[in-house]
């Protein structure tokens, strides 16, 4: 068993990017780096350990790209990959960041993990800018003012004990987000202000925006 560290980051990148249709998403290149490299590059200065889950057969390729990270083979579902990653994290506080969100800034990631160290659980949430409606049977029955709601982003971070309890729930795999799972378990989640550039690359349109808009913009700013 590895020594317990203060902070670890786990990166689920074991999917094959079916909706995007370009192969395993974590190995796609933006500029001169793959998505897993950009994500690890952002996180390395602020955590003590990084564990990355990749598709079976891609472990050696990932290790060459990320010599300072622990590489594991992912599972057949995101949740089970997260379980495997968590088991290898060995940290007091664990940050979860998707390789599909390469534009999350280091400052945002640091703010989320710092908030989790204080509150036990934290996540990035984006201001929706406009009111949000609750829809039932194609009809909007009520609305929420923009300051009352936030759009789930990543990263999210949790204390080891809290995350261990949440992931042990028999229904844990039913939740799309670990933050949803933790909230449903009765733990308030501290909301950190997210970033508009922090998009999740899922569709061909997302990839086009990432390649043609966000990557050049951030590169010109000196951030990317």
Give the model's confidence band at 18: pLDDT under 50 very low, under 70 low, under 90 confident, else very high: low
Of 9-23, 39-53, 148-162, 170-184, the one with minimum mean pLDDT is: 9-23
Q: Is the pLDDT reported for residue 149 higher than 60?
A: yes
Give residue 24's pLDDT: 87
For 47-73, what is each residue's pLDDT tens digit? 999 999 999 999 999 999 999 999 999
Give residue 178's pLDDT: 94
For residues 80-96, average pLDDT = 96
Distance between CA 86 and CA 66 in Å, rounded?
Answer: 18
Give the model's confidence band at 31: pLDDT under 50 very low, under 70 low, under 90 confident, else very high: confident
Q: How many domains does the chain have?
A: 1
For residues 101-129, average pLDDT = 96
Distance between CA 31 and CA 224 in Å, rounded?
Answer: 9
Note the pTM of the prediction, 2 decimals.
0.92
Give the model's confidence band at 217: pLDDT under 50 very low, under 70 low, under 90 confident, else very high: confident
Domain around 185: 5-221
For 173-184, what is each residue's pLDDT tens digit? 999 899 999 999
Residue 176 belongs to domain with CATH number? 3.90.550.10
């Amino acid at each position: 068993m590895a020594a317990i560290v203060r902070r670890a980051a786990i990166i689920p990148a074991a999917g094959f990017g079916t909706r995007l249709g370009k192969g395993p998403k974590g190995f796609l290149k933006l500029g001169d780096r793959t998505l897993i490299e950009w994500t690890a590059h952002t996180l390395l200065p602020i955590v003590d350990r990084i564990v990355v889950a990749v598709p079976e057969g891609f472990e050696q390729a990932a290790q060459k790209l990320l010599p300072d990270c622990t590489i594991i083979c992912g599972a057949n579902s995101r949740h089970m990959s997260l379980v495997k990653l968590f088991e290898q994290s060995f940290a007091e506080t664990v940050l979860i960041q998707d390789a599909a969100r390469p534009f999350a800034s280091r400052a945002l990631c640091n703010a989320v993990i710092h908030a989790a160290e204080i509150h036990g659980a934290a996540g990035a949430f984006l201001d929706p800018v406009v009111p949000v409606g609750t829809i039932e049977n194609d009809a909007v029955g009520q609305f929420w003012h923009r300051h009352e709601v936030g759009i789930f982003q990543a990263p999210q971070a949790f204390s080891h004990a809290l995350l261990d309890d949440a992931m042990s729930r028999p229904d844990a795999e039913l939740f799309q987000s670990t933050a949803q799972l933790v909230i449903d378990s009765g733990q308030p989640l501290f909301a950190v202000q997210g970033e508009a550039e922090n998009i999740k690359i899922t569709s061909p349109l997302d990839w086009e925006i990432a390649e043609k808009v966000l990557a050049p913009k951030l590169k010109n700013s000196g951030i990317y």
